[in-house]
Amino acid sequence: MASYIIRRILVAIPLLLGISIISFAIIHLAPGDPTSLLMDPHIKPSDRVAFIHAYGLDQPVYIQYFKWLWQMLQGNFGDSLIHQGVTVSSLILSRLPNTLLLMVVSALLAFIISIPFGILSATRPYTITDYTVTTVSFLGIATPNFWIGLVLLMFFAVQHPIFPAGGVQTLNAPFSIWDRIHHLILPAFVLATADMAGLTRYSRSSMIEVLRQDYIRTARAKGFRGSRVVYKHGLRNSLMPVITIIGLIIPSFIGGAVVVESIFNWPGIGLLFLDAAFQRDYPVIMALTMISATLVVIGNLIADILYAIVDPRIEY
């Protein structure tokens, strides 16, 4: 197992390197640069040139890349080009807690809501319950995240102001946990919907698969009651593939965060990513790209390790 993990980590290195080269090239070859906002008759064009020169943006892309790589290998993401005098690391660290909170809560929400529904529909296949759950989850898969976000925002924040319209806390009010939770519910729910539908389908089919197994039939034949069979024998085995999805969901949350954070004005790294992309804040874009790429790799690794834990039969 240990050697397997080490092997996987070693494989990840060239992979991440490749991702960094491709991303760096795409980002720098895209037209536009960080000075596109300096369109002011009071700003001399020579200042724009000086800026580009000062940050080495006039050098060939491969030289910029190696400089960036060398810096990054030393654990330094560089300075933001837009936020003056702020390092990329401190910028990301200041936003990270918000995104982590959103991700963890929405992951929990997704699991808590979808697994019971999946099981419910698996244990009553081809009934109205099953069809309802199936229909709703297919609707969930088919509906874009941002649309759900906007509809909920319009309904619950503007027409019936039960929830706040955005932000992480009420401004000009003392800190309270309830206030934070209040702000968290809508965005976390919307972010969760992205995975909820899939998870429901996944746990349903996994459960159905398990219920068809011989050992369940045997257990039933021995006289165990239905629910006991389902929860004692079936659940554990059916959850196995579902749990491994955790690792794969993590990266999708970052992608979803860009959308959800900008709808709900949630100051996390998704919103930072969006702003950085618009402003061509290259160091920030690269740092966030590498962080999410690393998360994907780690997510996959976690998925594999979880496999081994829930299913001791798997050998490496």
6, 13, 47, 176: residue in contact with another protein (rule CB under 8 A): 47
Span from 62-70, 199-207, 220-228, 254-262 in contact with another protein (CB under 8 A): 254-262
**Looking only at residues 106 through 145 of this chain, which bind another protein when binding is defined by CB under 8 A?**
none
Among 1, 7, 21, 36, binds another protein (CB under 8 A): 36
* Cβ atoms 34, 280 nearer than 8 A: yes
Q: Which amino acid is at 194?
A: A
Q: Does 44 bind another protein (CB under 8 A)?
A: yes
Nearer to another protein, 136 or 291 (CB): 291
Q: Among 288, 308, 305, which Cα is nearest to 99's?
A: 288
Of 54, 68, 56, the residue nearest 25 (C-alpha): 68
DSSP 8-state secondary structure symbol assigned to residue 229: I
- Asked if 214 touches another protein (CB under 8 A), the answer is no
Rounded to 5 degrees, φ, ψ at 87 are -80, 155
234 binds another protein (CB under 8 A): no
Cα gap 82→187, rounded to integer Å: 27
When the beta carbons of 81 and 120 are compared against another protein, the nearer one is 81
75 binds another protein (CB under 8 A): no
According to CB under 8 A, which residues from 159 to 198 bind another protein?
A: 161, 164-168, 171-172
* CB-CB contact of 69 with 18 (8 Å): no
- Shortest distance in whole angstroms from residue 228 CB to another protein: 30
213/252 with CB nearer another protein = 252
Q: Which residues contact 147 (CB under 8 A, 6 or more apart)?
A: none
For another protein, the closer CB: 56 or 167: 167
From candidates 208, 239, 254, 287, binder to another protein by CB under 8 A: 254
- The 3-state DSSP class for residue 40 equals coil
- What torsion do the CA atoms of 225, 230, 234, 240 make, to the nearest 10 degrees? -160
Residues 272-291 touching another protein, rule: CB under 8 A, are 272-275, 277-280, 285, 289
